[in-house]
Amino acid sequence: MDQAQNQELQWLLLDLNSFFASCEQQERPELRGKPVAVVAMITDSTSVLAASYEAKAFGVKTGTRVTEARKMCPGIQFVKTHHRRYLDFHQRILEAVEEIIPIHSVLSVDEMACELTGSQKQLPKALDLARRLKKHVQDRVGACLTSSVGLGPNTLIAKMASDMQKPNGLVWISREEISQKLGPLSIRCIPGVGARMEAHLNRSQIFKVQDLLQLSPGQARSVWGSIVGVRTVQALQGEPYVYAHGDTKSIGHEHVLPPDLRSSAKAFEVALKLLNKATVRLRKNHFRCRRLSLSVRFVDSTRYEKEIRFSETSDTGFLMKQLRSLWKFPPRPSPLKVSVVLSGFEKEEEAHQLSFFDGEQDRREKAFQVMDRLNEKFGADTLYVANLFGMKKKATGGIAFSRVPDPEEFEE
Ligand SMILES: [Mg+2]
């Protein structure tokens, strides 16, 4: 066996190329091979949300102003977003991937990670699997749905590998190759390192990935300014990528009520909103919680405090029901401040290793994760829990989301 054959890869990360634009091209053959920009509204005053590779060739990218994009690429076609369509493609892609290899985690609406096992870890086998997977997604879902696959010792490195060749890429980085393949890259290639963190690290003379690879955990912590640096550097060195446990002890939000919201009903709507924000953060940190605490302060400075415990969850619908059960205080003066706190965390992967289609709760949690990612891409309130702010469809049967939401329940 030559050296390449001895290399082992533990993780596969599949990232769809120009996902929203590709969905549109798949759905509308007349757009294929053409520069396309997906926008929230057909108007000159907006920016591009996603560009097809044909448009990217002209320099159009996410964030380019529509007027600018038209100048850069005169023939460009603007298409309005279809969230339900993307969700539908997302679901079909997950199903296609699962026909080849189990999905370990859905990282975003167009990214998923799979753990390689047994002989799949050997480089030639891993490459063969990756090629079959890419082709299978196209065969089953549509030829426009091309993807870039990264293979690596952990999901962080696999993700960086998938970013290195677009579109339609396949890049592997084994543990032995980290410094050779990633070392020369700018630290901006590290997921989570934005312009501000880059500037911060530059002040410590950290410019390239290789500058980080040499750091001890203590140095990593001090240049980064937090424990995140230790985890990131260890992941870059090829260690298993683990989310720290004790980092975040609780996630909570509080809100002082303006006069028009100082009724029990309005205050409860605010509490639901705070809970929703907290659960988005919970899922973003890959935690599940076992405790929900509610605190209400009234205008006479008295307080109502109560908490409830349950088995670990990150399901917004379930937590909303728990919040309602806590919201039972005897008549009091008007509420003045509401706070909602989630605690008793368990890391997602440790909590329960359910396979993707196992169980109702798991499905619901995945659905919420997808909603989080779409909201991240399109702006905070693109999709939301229907009954949330008492503005839409006044609640009749209690809280929404006691099951997997149908695509129809997402706002277009
Ligand atoms: Mg992508």
pLDDT in tens, the chain (412 residues): 455 557 899 999 999 999 999 999 999 999 999 999 999 889 998 899 899 999 999 999 989 999 999 999 999 999 998 888 888 898 899 999 999 998 877 777 788 989 999 999 999 999 999 999 999 999 999 999 999 999 999 999 999 999 999 999 999 999 999 999 999 999 999 987 888 889 999 999 999 999 999 999 999 989 988 777 888 899 999 988 753 333 446 788 878 888 999 999 999 999 999 999 889 888 887 788 888 989 898 998 888 888 888 888 888 899 999 999 999 888 778 999 898 988 877 665 443 333 233 345 566 666 777 777 666 665 544 444 443 433 333 222 222 222 223 333 333 3
CA of residue 16 to ligand 1 center, whole Å:
4
CA distance 367 to 375: 12
CA of residue 113 to ligand 1 center, whole Å:
13
CA of residue 147 to ligand 1 center, whole Å:
8
CA of residue 111 to ligand 1 center, whole Å:
6
CA of residue 17 to ligand 1 center, whole Å:
5
CA distance 20 to 18: 6
> What protein residues have CB closer than 5 angstroms to ion ligand 1?
15-16, 110
Helix, strand or coil, per DSSP, at residue 206? coil
CA of residue 162 to ligand 1 center, whole Å:
9
CA of residue 23 to ligand 1 center, whole Å:
12
CA of residue 43 to ligand 1 center, whole Å:
25
Helix, strand or coil, per DSSP, at residue 402? coil
The answer to whether 320 and 272 are in contact (CB under 8 A) is yes
CA of residue 378 to ligand 1 center, whole Å:
14
CA distance 105 to 349: 9
Residues 89-122, buried b or exposed e (16+ Cβ, 10 A)? Answer: bbeebbebbeebbebbbbbbbbbbbbebeeebbb
Strands 36-39, 77-80: pairing kind: parallel
CA of residue 67 to ligand 1 center, whole Å:
24
CA distance 189 to 200: 15
CA of residue 114 to ligand 1 center, whole Å:
16
Count of CB atoms situated within 10 Å of the CB of 300 = 10
CA of residue 166 to ligand 1 center, whole Å:
9
The pLDDT value recorded for residue 345 is 76
CA distance 203 to 224: 11
Strands 11-16, 77-80: pairing kind: unpaired
The pLDDT value recorded for residue 348 is 55
CA distance 323 to 343: 14
CA distance 217 to 66: 45
Would the pTM count as exceeding 0.85? no
Helix axes 19-27, 83-98, angle to 10 degrees: 100
The pLDDT value recorded for residue 5 is 59
Q: Among candidates 99, 89, 107, 164, which has minimal Cα distance to 129? A: 99
CA distance 206 to 204: 5
CA of residue 354 to ligand 1 center, whole Å:
25
Q: Among candidates 184, 126, 191, 185, which has minimal Cα distance to 152? A: 126
CA distance 73 to 38: 14
Helix, strand or coil, per DSSP, at residue 408? helix
The H or E element spanning position 401 is none
Strand partners, 309: 291
CA angle 376/378/384 to nearest 5° reads 75
CA of residue 109 to ligand 1 center, whole Å:
8
The pLDDT value recorded for residue 243 is 39
CA distance 48 to 34: 16
Assigned token pair, 144? 């426009």
The H or E element spanning position 78 is strand 77-80
Count of CB atoms situated within 10 Å of the CB of 201 = 21
CA of residue 3 to ligand 1 center, whole Å:
32
CA distance 290 to 312: 5
Can you list the domains of the chain with their CATH numbers? Answer: 1-174 (3.30.70.270), 182-236 (1.10.150.20), 250-409 (3.30.1490.100)
CA of residue 50 to ligand 1 center, whole Å:
10
CA of residue 154 to ligand 1 center, whole Å:
18
CA of residue 66 to ligand 1 center, whole Å:
21
CA of residue 18 to ligand 1 center, whole Å:
6
